Amino acid sequence: MGMLDANVSAAPISRVESQRGASGIQPNISVSKDYIEDLIHNKIPQITSSPQDPGRFARRKLDPASENPVAQPQVAPSPPRRVDVPSQQPNLEAAERTAAFQPPIVTSPKYSALDLLLVLAPHLADPEFEAQVVEAHNEQAIIAGEGNYA
Amino acid sequence: MPEDKEKSALEKLEAKLIKMWKQSGQASVISGRHTEFVVEPKVFMGDKLHPDILKFLVQGYLANTSTQDSGAGNDIEISPEKLVIKGPDGKKMIVVRDKEIIRQYIASQS
């Protein structure tokens, strides 16, 4: 069993530690206890943005007495709005429209088209038309009779 | 075949009705640049007559008949609201509510 000459040596793994972690840089800020007490009790003015000049900061001193700086206007409740509803009057226009929708000529469902033509044709002063109506009616009757036997 | 015979009879009757309806001047004509279209109603709508055809026939019936014809079996009842044409069995066959038709019939009878 031969030996392999390996000239490869494992390089030591360098450990990269984050400089941003908590273990890295210690904050160079020291705040006294009195400052925090004053900040809690609003004794120190805070820096806020001015709406008139948004690019700059303006100092605004909070009034510790007013818990609600934006006062809501007191508005008296308005009485309920009264809407006058017209009294119920017979809608004549709607009735006329309903009457207009009725067909001007209505036939009884008992009579077919040929039945009506048989009654109307003799009074139309057209013998040819009357003969055609009678012929069509007779043929319809014959067809109906054959249908009954089938 | 009887069926063809029936069709031909109805077709002849339908053609006759359309011809009469056109002659009455009630046909609708659509005029184009180079042609005209005459709108024809479908005469038979199932077992019923087209309302325009029925109106045309009723107008012709009332124009050619009179109350004296009621003895033939067809009776006409008239009121300001409606005109009733009764069938041979005396039952209501046609009810007319067209004010113009009623007015014309009353005027022709007076």
B16-26 pLDDT, tens per residue?
A: 999 888 888 87
Would residue A143 count as lying in a domain? yes
pLDDT at A150: 38
pLDDT at A36: 81
- By three-state DSSP, how is residue B77 classified? strand
Shortest distance, CA A127 to any CA of chain B (angstroms): 12
| 3-state secondary structure labels for all residues of A104-139 | CEEECCCCCHHHHHHHHHHHCCCHHHHHHHHHHHHH
Would residue A121 count as lying in a domain? yes
ipTM > 0.85 for the complex: no
Would residue A115 count as lying in a domain? yes
pLDDT at B49 over 60: yes
pLDDT at A23: 53
Question: Which residues does chain B have within 8 Å of residue A135's beta carbon, measured at their own beta carbons?
Answer: 9, 13
pLDDT at A98: 62
Distance CA A148, CA B93 (A): 27
Question: Which residues does chain A have within 8 Å of residue B101's beta carbon, measured at their own beta carbons?
Answer: 104-105
Would residue A128 count as lying in a domain? yes
pTM of the model: 0.55
Q: Where are the alpha helices (DSSP H) in chain B?
A: 2-23, 51-64, 99-109
pLDDT at A131 over 90: yes
pLDDT digits (tens, 9 = 90+) for A26-71: 656 677 888 788 877 776 666 555 555 555 555 555 555 555 555 5
Question: Which residues does chain B have within 8 Å of residue A128's beta carbon, measured at their own beta carbons?
Answer: 16
pLDDT at B59 over 50: yes
pLDDT at A19: 47
Give which of B68, B72, B66 is closest to B88, Cα–Cα.
B72
pLDDT digits (tens, 9 = 90+) for A96-125: 566 556 788 889 888 899 999 998 998 888
Would residue A89 count as lying in a domain? no
Would residue A38 count as lying in a domain? yes
Angle CA(A141)–CA(B89)–CA(A118) in degrees, nearest 5? 45
Number of domains comprising chain A: 2
Would residue A25 count as lying in a domain? no
Question: Does A119 sit within 8 Å of B2, measured CB to CB?
Answer: no
Mean pLDDT (chain B, rounded) = 82
Would residue A45 count as lying in a domain? yes
State which residues form the domain around A49.
32-63
